[in-house]
């Protein structure tokens, strides 16, 4: 079937003199492993349909992808997605302190916040003071880094945030993930289903 479709497309291109663009193949991104001693925290936020409520989710996993802890935090208002992501970062660093995590890797799906946190220059935007605050908090860790990942890699953090929206939920889980993200967490553990 695929061969027939390809031949028909080639014939169409020959007749019309146009070359179609090859479809861009996007390789699925998976949760990347860490070096020994690092802990990764995925952060994300979710808003209510009316946009009047925001919940941020954070999920901590070690270098073998085992769940260390997670949390969701309710905020009664949230009009700025970047601010929401920064709130998630703040909560992640606060929990890293409580969990005694010296080497923290924050991963999120907001490129602009990642860029701002990685930049050594002062941020002069409205979010500048919050960026500075998060950077100062990160500086309390022995090692830290912030990276971007596609939304599909952030599924567990997004799942926690979505779970909290209808219930105005603020809660912390330690060592045992909540049911709402159990499938996402287990699917990312190598050989879990074999």
Q: What percent of the chain has pLDDT over 70?
A: 79
| Three-class secondary structure of residue 150 per DSSP | coil
Give the domain ranges of the chain.
39-187
Check: pTM over 0.85? Answer yes or no.
no
Q: Which CATH architecture has domain 39-187?
A: 2-Layer Sandwich (3.30)
- Choice between 18 and 25, residue whose per-residue pLDDT is larger: 18
d(CA 159, CA 179): 10
> What is the structure's pLDDT at 152?
76
> What is the structure's pLDDT at 155?
85
């Amino acid at each position: 079937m695929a061969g027939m479709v390809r031949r028909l497309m080639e014939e169409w291109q020959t007749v019309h003199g146009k070359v179609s663009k090859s479809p861009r193949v996007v390789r699925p991104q998976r949760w990347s492993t860490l070096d020994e001693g690092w802990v990764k925290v995925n952060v994300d936020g979710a808003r209510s349909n009316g946009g009047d409520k925001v919940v941020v989710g954070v999920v901590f996993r070690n270098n073998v992808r085992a769940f260390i802890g997670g949390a969701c935090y309710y905020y009664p208002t949230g009009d700025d997605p970047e601010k929401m992501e920064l709130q998630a970062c703040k909560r992640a660093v606060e929990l890293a302190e409580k969990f005694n995590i010296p080497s923290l890797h924050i991963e999120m799906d907001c490129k602009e916040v990642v860029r701002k946190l990685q930049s050594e220059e002062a941020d002069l935007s409205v979010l500048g003071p919050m960026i500075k605050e998060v950077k100062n908090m990160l500086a309390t860790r022995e090692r830290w880094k912030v990276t971007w990942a596609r939304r599909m890699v952030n599924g567990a953090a997004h799942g926690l945030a979505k779970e909290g929206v209808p219930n105005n939920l603020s809660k912390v889980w330690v060592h045992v993930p909540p049911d709402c993200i159990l499938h996402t967490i287990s699917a990312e553990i190598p050989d879990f289903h074999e």
